[in-house]
Each structure stands twice: as C-alpha cells, then as structure tokens.
Amino acid sequence: PFCKAIGAIVLRTKVDPQATLWESLLPEEFRRLPPGLCAVDAFLDDPVFFEPFVPYFDPSYGRPSTPIETYLRLMHLRFRYDLGFETLCGEVTDSLSWRRFCRIGPYDKVPDASTLMKITKRCGSEVVAELNEALLKKANAAHLVKLDKVRADTTVVPANVAYPTDSGLLAKGVAKLARSVSSLKSLGFATRTSFRDRTRSVRRRAHSIGAWLRRRNDEAKEEVLKITGELAGIAEATILDALGVARNAKRKLACYGRSAPRKAICLVSEIEQTCRLLEEIVAQTRTRLSGEVPDGSTRIVSLHDPDARPIAKGRLGKPVEFGYKNQVTDNVDGIVLDMAMFKGNPPDAPMLVPAITRIKTLFGRAPKAVTADRGYGEASVESGLVALGVERIAIPRKGKPGKARRAVESARGFRTLVKWRTGSEGRVSHLKHSFGFERTMLDGIAGAKTWCGWGLLAHNSVKISALAEEEKDKPTTVRQRRPPANTADTGPPTGRSPTSRCTA
C-alpha cells in the first residue's frame, strides 16, 4: 500500500513538463527562470520531498488534488516573497516564469487560495518538520552543511490577536456565545431552552470603560474596576445559560445517532469550548480585581488562539508580546539547523542542550563550537554540551563572574565567538521580515509550528541551493606531484599532452 500511495503521489506531480508549441515560440528570456528560482527548482526535484504527504492522500478514493510539486513551489513563493494566498495566486497567474517554476502550463488553472489553505491545515506541522529534515539531510549528503560553529537565540512569534484586555475578552466571549447559540437554535436544537442575549449589555459597558480611561484620575480607575466586575458577572450568567443549551442539544443529538447533523455537533463543541475559555477569563479577571497579578503561563489572551501567551522579552517598543517563544539555531552559512517552538515563556537555558542533541542526531556529529547569549549561561548547560562532544563553548555566565571565569571569558577565542553570536539577531530579523516569522496566521501551537516551518523551508531552500550552485561553479583542480629532488624534469610522460594534468 505504501508503494501504491507513492505512485499516486508521483502521478500527481508534473516533473519537468514538456513545453507547448506556444511556449516554444516565446523568446528565451520569457522561458528562463530567475537565477534564484532556478537553483531552488533543481533542488526541489528530489522525490524525497513527496514522501511526507503520502499518509494524507488516498491512492484510489477522492478527486485528484493539487499536484504536490506545484503545491510545494507555490508555498515556497508564498513565504519567500511574503505574499498572501490570494496575492500569490494572482501573481502566479500573471507571470510566465512563476508558472514554469510551479509546473503550471500557460493554459492550466492556478490552484485557488482556499485550496492551498486547506492543504496546509490538513497536513499540519508534522509534514513540514519532515520536509525540513529531508532538506537538511539532502544538504548534508552533498557536504553543504558546516558544523564548525553554531549559535542559538530565542525570539517571539506573535499570534494573530489584538491587544488583549480582560474586559474586551469578556465582551467578545459573551457575543460569541450568543452567536453560536442562535445558530444552534436555528437548526432546531434546544429551541425551548431559555437563553438571554447579553451582547448589547457587555458592549455598552466595554465602550464606557474606554470613555472612563480617557479621564486619567483615581475616580476613573475605580469606575473601570467596577464595570469590569459587572462584565465578569454578566459572563458568568451567560455561561450558565449556554451550558444549558448545549446540554439539551446533546440529548437531541444522541437520538439522531450517526445521522446527526455535523454542523450542530460542531456548534455544541464550540459552545462548550468557549464556555471553558470564558470561565478561565472570568477567573483571571477576578484575580486582577483582587489586586493580584494572574499567572502569565496560564493566562488566556485570545478566544480563537487559546495557546498564545504573554511573553516579556524586554524590548523597548514592545515590552510584552502575545504569541509563542521560538528558538533558532544556525551555522556560519546562515542555514537554520534547528527550530523549536514553545508555549509560554520558558527559560532559555534548558532549551540549548536538546537543540544540540537534535542536531547531532540529524547530522551524525556534534558541532565543534557552540555560542549563545547570557540567558543560556549556566554550568549545567556547559556540562551537557561537553557530554555531547562540543569542543568549544562561548556562553557568558549569569551574574558576576569570579576571577577564574573572567579569565575564561576574556580569552581571544571566547570573545571572537561571542562577537559572532550577535549575528543571530540579524538572522532572526531576516526570518521575521522576509519569511513570515513576524506573525503566525494559523491558530494554536501546532498552527504556529506549521506557519514558521514553511518559512524555514523557504529560507533554507534559498541558502542551500545557493551553496550548491557555488560548489558547481568552483573549478576542480588536480594537484601535480613534485619530481624527486635529484631527478631532472624530462617533460610529460609519453602519450600525454603538457596540459593533461591541469584543470579538470
């Protein structure tokens, strides 16, 4: 079955399509790919990039989907040039060179933006992780990956959420429950169960909070806290009503059995999930009203992205960001060798040794030198790296160093590696501005891994394909043997020209 599925996937690809008569009449400039895309095109021709998609496509049932090769190249363009899905489809439709790169003929239809979104969500983060691993293994087999020294740094990948406030989340949660209950009742479920729509009430109070905050005095602060408490009370009453509707709707759905409407099942599940989130928001609101600060590791900042958390990184413009913590480890050529996504704001130090372990497992050898910022500076981290076989470690220690430690950190090799480490800030900035790390548009920790994984695949494809082209352009030379010291050079051997042992 696996071989049959592989055959189905390969049949849905269009490797090196034959040019049509209309294409052959075009000038060479219109049929030639740009240099960067040409290198990536040759690198992505390997069938190893099709294998991760096999479990997600049935070989015999269902209508034919978008060819995998076309999907891969479309996703590369989307993250390489930071385009929206609708913009991407429009640009590919109008560009002959991009059509050729994506293996789409001049008369073929470009896949719809919704199709690309559905395939991306369907395959998920596991497929993207396998694609990145296959790309790095292919580069390692071609001797393009250097492990002389690597550096690690963390950043925040913001979630697609507005700036959260407890009052705003309470108002949105009540309004969302009202919409879901209304849709469920319109399908004929729990029609006699009472539910009061409190949307206007919470919106009026949320609007009044904004008006009071503009006064900026002690009276306004007390009034805002009072209104927030009223919003929490309204949310609690709405939760009780919504749970009653969901409970009665589930009783009727049980009577349908397998023929229960799918939309009704989804609405009941959505109501229950929203109630759970809204209960947590009410609890953290009560905590804040009592004068305490809610725990940031469990604080809910979004109803549609419940995994996002507040993360404080100490930036002047953005002291607190809302999203996920991401660790990036790259080498001297800028290839990202490892990426890890975390929920919340865990400490940096425990994340470095697992990253180097994954690199050693993937490439079969540990890096010779590892450097990172002071957030990783712990003795346990250095001992773990030494156990993995790392020869040089340049990580400044936390706190005030002693005399022996100052001698280590003032060494020339240590300072050289630390200076090179600062380039990781530029690598992170490049990923943010050019490859989609600025904001994930998929919800949840799995969605963030999927989104950043595609950006990482596009980034590494550009880097590795450029290195492969440089290796091709390097002249291959054969070194001549020197004659013995007491032997005169009598010329080339018989049957060989004087230039036969020069550049190959």
The tens digit of pLDDT for each residue in 418-433 reads: 999 999 999 999 999 9
CA distance linking residue 302 with residue 27, whole number of Å:
53
Task: Give the pLDDT mean for 190-213.
Answer: 90
Query: Quick one: pLDDT band at residue 296, thresholds 50, 70, 90?
Result: confident
Residues 6+ apart with CB under 8 A from 195: 178, 181, 185, 241, 242, 244, 245
Query: Quick one: pLDDT band at residue 234, thresholds 50, 70, 90?
Result: very high
CA distance linking residue 73 with residue 75, whole number of Å:
5
Most confident of 217-231, 438-452, 471-485: 438-452
Task: Give the pLDDT mean for 302-317.
Answer: 89
Residues 6+ apart with CB under 8 A from 261: 187
CA distance linking residue 330 with residue 136, whole number of Å:
12
Q: Which of 31, 15, 41 is nearest to 466 (CA)?
A: 41
Say whether pLDDT at 7 is over 80: no
Say whether pLDDT at 84 is over 50: yes
**What tokens were used for 290?**
């009592």
Q: How many CB atoms lie within 10 A of CB 110?
A: 21
The tens digit of pLDDT for each residue in 349-378 reads: 999 999 999 999 999 999 999 999 999 999
Q: How many CB atoms lie within 10 A of CB 156?
A: 23
Say whether pLDDT at 178 is over 90: yes
Share of the chain above pLDDT 90, in %: 66
The tens digit of pLDDT for each residue in 214-229 reads: 777 778 888 888 999 9
**What tokens were used for 71?**
């999907």
Q: What is the pLDDT of residue 210?
A: 80
CB 224 within 8 A of CB 216: no
CA distance linking residue 455 with residue 444, whole number of Å:
17
Query: Quick one: pLDDT band at residue 495, thresholds 50, 70, 90?
Result: very low
Place of tokens 């896949």: 111
Query: Quick one: pLDDT band at residue 325, thresholds 50, 70, 90?
Result: very high
Kind of pairing, strands 309-312 and 392-394?
unpaired
Q: Which of 125, 180, 36 is nearest to 451 (CA)?
A: 125
Query: Quick one: pLDDT band at residue 487, thresholds 50, 70, 90?
Result: very low
Place of tokens 């005095």: 217
CA distance linking residue 281 with residue 271, whole number of Å:
15
Q: Which of 296, 291, 279, 293 is nearest to 243 (CA)?
A: 279
Task: Give the pLDDT mean for 22-47.
Answer: 75
Q: Which of 1-15, 45-59, 215-229, 290-304 has the lowest mean pLDDT?
A: 1-15
Bridge partner list, 325: 156, 342
As a three-state string, the secondary structure of 290-355 is CCCCCCCCCCCCCCCCCCCEEEECCCCCCCEEEEEEEEEEEECCCCEEEEEEEECCCCCHHHHHHH
Q: Which of 54-63, 101-110, 204-213, 316-325 has the lowest mean pLDDT?
A: 54-63
Q: What is the pLDDT of residue 8?
A: 43
Residue 241: in which H helix or E strand, if any? helix 218-256
pTM of the predicted protein model: 0.86
CA distance linking residue 346 with residue 327, whole number of Å:
11
